[in-house]
Amino acid sequence: MQSFDFVIVGAGTAGCVVASRLSENGKYSVLLLEAGGSDRTIWIQLPIGYGRTFFDRSINWMYDTAPVAGLGDRSSYWPRGKVIGGSGSINAMVYVRGRPEDFDDWRDMGNPGWGYDDVLPYFRKSEDHDHGATHHHGQGGEIHVTDISRRAHPLCDLFVETAKALGYQATCDFNGPDGEGVGVYQINTRQGLRASSANGFLRPALRRQNLELRTRCQVTRILFEGKSATGVEYVRGNRLQKVLARREVILCGGAVNSPQLLQLSGVGDGEGLKTAGVEVLHHSPAVGRNVQDHLAVSYFYTSSRPTLNDELRPLTGKIRAGLRYLWDRGGPLSMSVNQGGGFVRSHAGAPRPDLQLYFSPVSYTQTPLSRRELLNPDPFSAFLLSFNACRPTSRGWIHITSPDPLAAPLIQPNYLSTDKDVTDALTGAKLLRRIAATAPLSDIITGELAPGRHVQTDDALLQDFRNRADTVYHPVGSCVMGPDPGAAVVDSRLRLHGLAGVRIIDASVFPTVTSGNTNAPTVMAAEKGAAMVLEDARSGGVSARA
């Protein structure tokens, strides 16, 4: 049976970073296992192609949640990357770290070393930023951060001016010294191509002799001797195979697959595991709990000025956009459609920005979500405004329903299950309406497509939110980090409470969801987690096995 120093499960955003860092010094052998296949397709590498990958079962787990009471018993569609690069290969590429206070909260919840000053060096380490090296940004790192403010659609300027008219400040960098306000999002692209952790970290690292990547490998369980992890079992093709880890098994499966694999391996809430038909190895009640996600709704407006619809809908527009991209890797194909936005306070007394805004100079109202493609927007000039609460207080759960490793787990996000989240939903909806009613944006609006002007009362606005709101694809927290084994899954060094030889390094360990998009903080956590693994390996903090 083969053995490696480290066996990493999941070649997603975090796994690619961890594999690169652990193999960097050449001292350790590393095996990276991925359930999906190659990311070398045009729809992944072309920035605007992510609209298509959201519904491609060959590279996407395509989960659906259980019916959610807060959404009128609707289920929510959760795309998750089943491909090299994971969800970072199918996301909208928006680069947002989160507020400094987010990480100070993590530290204050009993996780030393996770405050903003502690994690900033790891954000900077991975960055190759258009703004160059500063106290807040890095240059020369593996992930390129592109400032598209000069190339964003002209309507983004109207959105910013409108927000300023409402008293919000403008910012040129949501990740800089003052990230509060409105502006244009930075994105993860390099020379017009997606800048994922697969491209930035894993691809160069695969030239090393001590790193091996195996794709199409569905890991079915972690192998244990007593309470110490020794390796993993996985299916490749029709063969069940095993591989040993001399030092550690590291889970990088993300907020859905990491708790799923733990539960399949007998680690989780004891009663829940018995109900699912799994023998209990270690009672860890927090596995799969504490799930958090951002929930958003979009308001759609027709416009008297051209939008991206006018560029991308006609065949001639597609041809022009394609030729422009071939000429200099520029134009709309080189960017996300999520261009404008910001972080604002819902009211003057809010202690920190608590709403995230999105302005996209494009609309999709005439096709169902299951067929929506970014290159086929509405055949008329329109745009959308959207928002989500930055730090929702609702908590959900993820749990297996059988011992079958190929069966999808049950996902219950429990959206809108707290009074605060309901209040935030109504507050945000009213803010979108205020923005749309304020010049200069109001000067170009010719109508409201959705929800429609007939939706006016608080009850109607809230009901519309329940009817149409959906995930922003930011699930975290299902293997939460914390000091209490009864309430957390891993400690502040990402080691599982009560078990040896196994860690989790991905967004599932986040104690609370960050204020914004979650890809950048996942890369940071992977950088910091890999550094911890190497520190412990050097100091003997994790004993090697022969």
Q: What is the pLDDT of residue 373?
A: 64
Question: What percentage of the chain carries pLDDT values higher than 70?
Answer: 97
Looking at residue 374, its pLDDT comes to: 67
Q: Kindly indicate the confidence band of residue 541, based on its pLDDT and cuts at 50, 70 and 90.
A: low
Q: Residue 546's pLDDT band (boundaries 50, 70, 90)?
A: very low
Instruction: Give the count of beta carbons closer than 10 Å to the beta carbon of residue 209.
Output: 8
CA triple 211-215-216, angle to 5 deg? 155
Give the whole-number percent of the chain exceeding pLDDT 90: 88
d(CA 415, CA 399): 17
Question: CA separation (Å) from 247 to 19, 222, 470, 537?
Answer: 14, 14, 41, 8
Q: Which of 223, 506, 270, 507 is nearest to 399 (CA)?
A: 270
Q: Is 241 exposed, middle or buried (0-12, 13-18, 19+ CB in 10 A)?
A: middle
Chain-wide mean pLDDT for the chain? 95
pLDDT in tens, 107-160: 999 999 999 999 999 999 999 999 999 999 999 999 999 999 999 999 999 999
Higher pLDDT, 445 or 324: 445
User: What pLDDT, on the 0 to 100 scale, is given for residue 472?
Assistant: 94
Residue 55 has pLDDT above 90, yes or no: no
pLDDT at 372 over 60: no
* DSSP track, 316-351: HHHHHHHHHHHHHS-SGGGS-S--EEEEE-SSTT-S
Q: Taken in order 312, 468, 46, 357, is the CA torsion positive or negative?
A: positive
Segments making up each domain of the chain, as ranges: 1-68+77-140+195-292+474-546, 149-184+295-389+416-468
Cβ neighbours of residue 452 closer than 8 Å, sequence gap 6 or more: none
CA distance 144 to 395: 33
| pLDDT tens-digit map of 465-477 | 999 999 999 999 9
**What number is the average pLDDT over the span 226-244?**
97
Tell me if 292 sits within 8 A of 421, measured CB to CB.
no
CA 169, 172, 176 angle in degrees (round to 5)?
100
Question: 257, 194, 173, 254: which is closest to 40 by C-alpha?
Answer: 194
pLDDT digits (tens, 9 = 90+) for 419-431: 999 999 999 999 9
How far apart (Å, rounded) are the C-alpha atoms in residues 377 and 311? 10
Q: Evaluate if residue 345 carries a pLDDT over 50.
A: yes
Mind giving me the DSSP string for 9-48? E--SHHHHHHHHHHHTTSSS-EEEE-SSB---SHHHHSGG
pLDDT tens string 492-520: 999 999 999 999 999 999 999 999 999 99
pLDDT exceeds 80 at position 367? no
pLDDT at residue 314 is higher than 90:
no
Q: How far apart are CA 190 and CA 178, in angstroms?
A: 25
Q: What per-residue confidence (pLDDT) applies to 318?
A: 85
pLDDT value at 44 more than 90: yes
Q: Which of 144, 153, 294, 474 is catalytic?
A: 474
Task: Report how far residue 206's alpha carbon sits from residue 412's, in angstroms, rounded to the nearest whole number.
Answer: 37
Quick check: 438 and 445 in contact, CB under 8 A?
Answer: no
- 1-68+77-140+195-292+474-546: CATH class: alpha beta
- Per-residue pLDDT band for 193 (boundaries 50, 70, 90) equals very high
- φ, ψ of residue 54 to 5 degrees: the values are -60, -20
- Exposure string over 276-304, b if 16+ CB within 10 A, otherwise e: bebeebbbbbbbbbbbbbbbbbbbbbbbe
Q: Tell me, yes or no, if 474 is annotated catalytic.
A: yes
What CATH number labels 149-184+295-389+416-468? 3.30.410.40
